[in-house]
Amino acid sequence: MQGYGAQAELLAARYESLAFAAVHASVLDLFPPPPAHVLDIGAGSGRDAAHLADLGHAVTATEPSPEMRAAARRLHPEARIDWRDAALPALPGLTAPFDLVLLTAVWMHLDGPERAAALPRLAQLLAPGGRLILSIRHGPVPEGRRMFTVDPRETIDQAAAAGLRLLRHLDEASKQRANWLAGIHWTRLAFERPA
């Protein structure tokens, strides 16, 4: 992902400074109990993937930046995570049905056609009853990064067209003080594939 490789160590440290439970507090009740098959797309520093693996989930983590994958493996060498070099919208090589697909701070990196292609693919990867949870960043774009403005309603409509049911739609303040002061906020969406 553009803008992440050169800053991998700095960004990994920033991501690791936030606790898993704090980042996902508003949707933790939607996570399946272990053991479940979890796909963490754009896993970054590996914070979420490692936490979920420690809980007893079978975790597959995709991260298109080789530098971020390397940083994640250094930070979480003991975690049992199946790391993959795969990116949206195609996510090549992923075939297993997943009980949870997690996209934390990823969706806004895709342009409109990529998002339109990605949602049917994500729905295809979900097991019946499986859940897709994603967050969308709103606010100023950091220099050198590829981000797009995303209307949450577009994502909700695309998910419905892919056969997914909306479970939750929340607007949240940024957990990082500097981002909050810069006017960055988030939308959190959760969907379910009907059983």
Write out pLDDT tens, residues 59-82: 999 999 999 999 999 999 988 999
As a whole number of angstroms, the distance between CA 140 and CA 118 comes to 24
Q: Please give the pLDDT value at position 181.
A: 62
Please tell me the distance from the alpha carbon of residue 174 to that of residue 179, in angstroms, as a whole number.
Answer: 6
- For the record, the structure tokens of 193 come out as 């594939």
pLDDT value for 7: 66
What percent of the chain is predicted at pLDDT more than 90? 77
Find the mean pLDDT for residues 179-183: 66
Residues 139-168: what's their mean pLDDT? 94
pTM, to two decimals: 0.92
pLDDT score recorded for residue 145: 82
Task: Tell whether the model's pLDDT for residue 10 goes beyond 80.
Answer: no
- 16 or 115, which is more confident: 115
Tokens of 155: 């994502």
DSSP reduced 3-state for 162? coil
